[in-house]
Structure 1
Amino acid sequence: MGPKDEEVSWKLETLLDEMAWCGIHGALVYHNVAREYDPAYGNRMLMEAISGNPRLFPCWVVLPHDCGEMPPPKRLVKDMLAAGVRAVRMAPRSQNYLLEEYVCGELLDALAGEQILLSIGIDQTSYGDLFQIASRRPGLPILMTGCSWAATRNILPLMDKCPNVHIEFSTFQANYALEEFTERYGAERLLFGTDALLKSMGAAKSFVDYAELGESDRKLIAGGNLARLLRLERLPEEYPARTDGPILSRVKEGLPLEHITVIDSHAHMSHNDARGVGYMPMPRSDAKHMIRRNRRLGIDKVAISSWMGIFADCEEGNVILKDAMDQFPDDIIGYATLDPNYLTAEEFDRWMGVAHEEWGFKGMKPYNPRVRIPYNSPRYDQWYTYGNEHRLFCLLHSSGGNFINEVADISKRYPEISFLLAHSAGDYPTARERLPLVKERDNVYLEITLTPVTYRIIEYMVKHVGAEKVLFGTDAPMRDPIPQFGWMCYSRCSEEELELMLGRNMERILARCR
């Protein structure tokens, strides 16, 4: 309970239905009333709601006892164990208390004494606080949730020094994350998590199913580690056999979609053998690792703009991308990056010729978040004029509050350019704002990718604009392509709709280019 969009699902029966759809056998759950209203009241509601359901395992929300809201820690833990509760959730920022020793030390000691799993979202704490707690209580198992891969440089030292710290990957969608962490720590500290029903459960499940791991490691991450931490005596039963469509059947087995065309409309890349791009680590982010990943999924082609090109040096970025296209000519489609703040009009014109005519880039990637130029600025007119003549496609990241007006302007003036609105499925307000323009203009499309992998939003967009106007994209290798791929494949769209979104729509856009 709490603030939510009208489209966001929240019912228990929806959760159970989605678990069955995805083949997820069990889940650790807490009640939002325990976080948003009163922990004790919400914990009672939780126990009533899941009573008798063998697939749901209780996680109580707890806080310090000093104000009389909860029993003293030892009694609280005794009550938990008697109720079969082996995990707790803490929300210090939402519930206005500190994780300092003088506030939470007694509670944390009691949890550590019984090795109760402490689950805590990184939005509620800091990595520094977690280090202090974990290093002082090596017997307390801690699960960090909601971590961003942008914080990897803080996460790795914490996990290196505190072997009782675990991590789940619903938000931590870093490229090759499961492989990288398994190589460093073994699989025992990695947990499968979904953040349902905010996020797509299929996105998280695919991340495990398609990872390049041994079967024993995959089983540990998928459920074995959580079962051990919760000391489950019995695992949930298998679901009755069901018949899925050809796409979902292969995805559930972690097999490539070799029977249909799959084209990633939105990706990036770094230079050869890169491990990071300045403000964030980005392992295995060069062309060879990206194509390896794509082939594991069955992605036939990928449209790429170089990270260098959009963030630092557009000219050098185009050169890096051209090298990648030479390495993988059948796999990579190029987005040119051109920055009017650094290129004179003559240089801009020369680079249009080099990138589009000599090197064959079919895409255009102006990037407002870095160059801070409105998309309908006259400084882009020469590029749009060229793109219109050659029926190119143009990927646009949001430019802020005037974004829709800017796109409305240029999509009308340049009707032969296909405009792809990036990250349209990040949340319902964003999608809702873009729907009218996409309905109105034949040359404007919704591209999906973003970390929230918002539950049921792909179905929402298809309902309102049709599958013909929705495009699969991943933003790889900033995030691993697997969760974005699973997000779309586990949606409740028809096979025909999935085939359109996964590849045929982009295939049609590419066929127009000349």
Structure 2
Amino acid sequence: MILDAHGHLGPWPDFLIPDPSADGMVSLLDRLGIDAIGISHLLAVGPDAEEGNRLAFAAAERHPGRIGVWQVYNPHQRNHLADEGVWGVKIHPDVHECRLDDRRYDPVWELGLPVLAHGQTGSPWSDPAQFVTVAGRHPHVPLLLGHAGLWPNGFARAAELAGPYPNLFLEICGSKMTGRWIARLAGLIGADRVIYGSDACFLDLRIGFGRVALAPLTDADRALIQGGNLARLLRPGSHRQGPRT
């Protein structure tokens, strides 16, 4: 099973997205042989978490088994979170301007669901060191360090910091990531701690998938990164069922 951990739907005000639709996303999944993608709606990441989450659930209902939902939590809006029928929770400390280790995110950790968070080396909001703080506080929460820190000069550091925390995983999407870096990260932290994501439709799904499909990995390690690791973290059936409403 191939699972894309990091996807989006919808437009973003300062970034060209040629096709922000769920139909376009699923068409690409079909062409590439990807079973499912977890998405957060960009409206939810931005100004309106409640409405954006509603649109994400609606897309998942239209495409059962192909689209999973990372429901967004905005610590300033303190919006409602579901505890069933989702892949987990998405947070973006840099957009929210709220540090990942801020207590205003406590409602997220209390759910115990997997959490995908934007990670950015050197950011005051989402540096990998803050992921370590949260992973230590909440060892029962699977935490995906989005973009593996985003910048190449921080990839190895992100792996080193995450290493002692078995609930902390490196998610590898981003325009600076390469197939060779994916293999290096697997060597540094172990292939069982690296998770494929593309950042589609924000970034081109074909490029994100191609990086891991062609990375210099063993077949066993590639299978873990492309979906085996994420499938292990998701609640049973969460990648096959639509959301409950």
Alignment CA distance shift 1:404-1:453 (3 Å): closer
Question: Who is 1:266 aligned against?
Answer: 6
Question: Who is 1:280 aligned against?
Answer: 15
Partners of 1:301 and 1:455 in 2: CA distance: 21
2:231 counterpart of 1:507: yes
Of 473-482 and 278-287, more deviation after overlay is shown by 278-287
Partners of 1:408 and 1:453 in 2: CA distance: 21
Map residues 202-213 of structure 1 onto 2, 5 A cutoff. none
Map residues 63-462 of structure 1 onto 2, 5 A cutoff. 261-270=1-10, 276-343=11-78, 348=79, 351-352=80-81, 355-357=82-84, 360-386=85-111, 388=112, 392-398=113-119, 400-401=123-124, 403-424=127-148, 426-454=150-178, 456-462=180-186
Question: Who is 2:211 aligned against?
Answer: 487
The letter of the residue matching 2:46 is F
Whose relative contact order is higher, 1 or 2, with alpha carbons under 8 Å and at least 6 apart? Answer: 2
Query: Any conservation in 2 of the 1:435–1:465 contact (CA below 8 Å)?
Result: yes
Map residues 5-20 of structure 1 onto 2, 5 A cutoff. none
Aligned partner of residue 365 in structure 1, secondary structure: strand
Partners of 2:198 and 2:50 in 1: CA distance: 24
Aligned partner of residue 421 in structure 1, secondary structure: strand
Partners of 2:46 and 2:202 in 1: CA distance: 13
Of 332-341 and 497-506, more deviation after overlay is shown by 332-341
The letter of the residue matching 1:356 is D
CA deviations 1:200-258 (Å, max 9, x no partner) are xxxxxxxxxxxxxxxxxxxxxxxxxxxxxxxxxxxxxxxxxxxxxxxxxxxxxxxxxxx
Deviation at 1:493, TM superposition (A): 0.6
Aligned partner of residue 374 in structure 1, secondary structure: coil
Match of 2:222 among 498, 506, 509: 498
Question: Given the two structures, how large is their TM-score scaled by the length of structure 1?
Answer: 0.44
Query: Any conservation in 2 of the 1:444–1:469 contact (CA below 8 Å)?
Result: yes
Deviation at 1:340, TM superposition (A): 2.2
Deviation at 1:513, TM superposition (A): 8.9
Query: Any conservation in 1 of the 2:198–2:205 contact (CA below 8 Å)?
Result: yes
Name stretches of at least 5 consecutive residues in structure 1 with no aligned partner: 1-260, 271-275
Partners of 1:512 and 1:414 in 2: CA distance: 21
The letter of the residue matching 2:76 is N
Alignment CA distance shift 1:263-1:455 (3 Å): closer
Partners of 2:179 and 2:69 in 1: CA distance: 30
Aligned partner of residue 26 in structure 2, secondary structure: helix
Partners of 1:432 and 1:405 in 2: CA distance: 13
The letter of the residue matching 2:108 is W
Partners of 1:407 and 1:452 in 2: CA distance: 20
Aligned partner of residue 356 in structure 1, secondary structure: coil
Partners of 1:406 and 1:509 in 2: CA distance: 21
Partners of 1:436 and 1:504 in 2: CA distance: 22
Alignment CA distance shift 1:491-1:309 (3 Å): same
CA deviations 1:323-357 (Å, max 9, x no partner) are 101101211111111212123xxxx4xx12xx334
The letter of the residue matching 2:23 is K
Partners of 1:409 and 1:277 in 2: CA distance: 30
Query: Any conservation in 2 of the 1:356–1:362 contact (CA below 8 Å)?
Result: no
Deviation at 1:447, TM superposition (A): 0.8
The letter of the residue matching 1:468 is D
CA deviations 1:30-49 (Å, max 9, x no partner) are xxxxxxxxxxxxxxxxxxxx
The letter of the residue matching 2:41 is S
CA deviations 1:424-466 (Å, max 9, x no partner) are 1744322111112321011111111111233511111111111
Aligned length: 235
Query: Any conservation in 2 of the 1:426–1:454 contact (CA below 8 Å)?
Result: no
The structure with the largest helix share of the pair is 1
CA deviations 1:364-415 (Å, max 9, x no partner) are 11111111111111111122112x2xxx111111251562332112111211
> Percentage identity across aligned positions?
26
The letter of the residue matching 2:62 is Q
Alignment CA distance shift 1:425-1:398 (3 Å): closer
CA deviations 1:237-286 (Å, max 9, x no partner) are xxxxxxxxxxxxxxxxxxxxxxxx1000001001xxxxx43222312211
Question: Given the two structures, how large is their TM-score scaled by the length of structure 2?
Answer: 0.89
Deviation at 1:362, TM superposition (A): 2.6
Partners of 1:293 and 1:425 in 2: CA distance: 26
Query: Any conservation in 1 of the 2:87–2:235 contact (CA below 8 Å)?
Result: no
Aligned partner of residue 202 in structure 2, secondary structure: coil
Aligned partner of residue 163 in structure 2, secondary structure: helix
The letter of the residue matching 1:395 is L
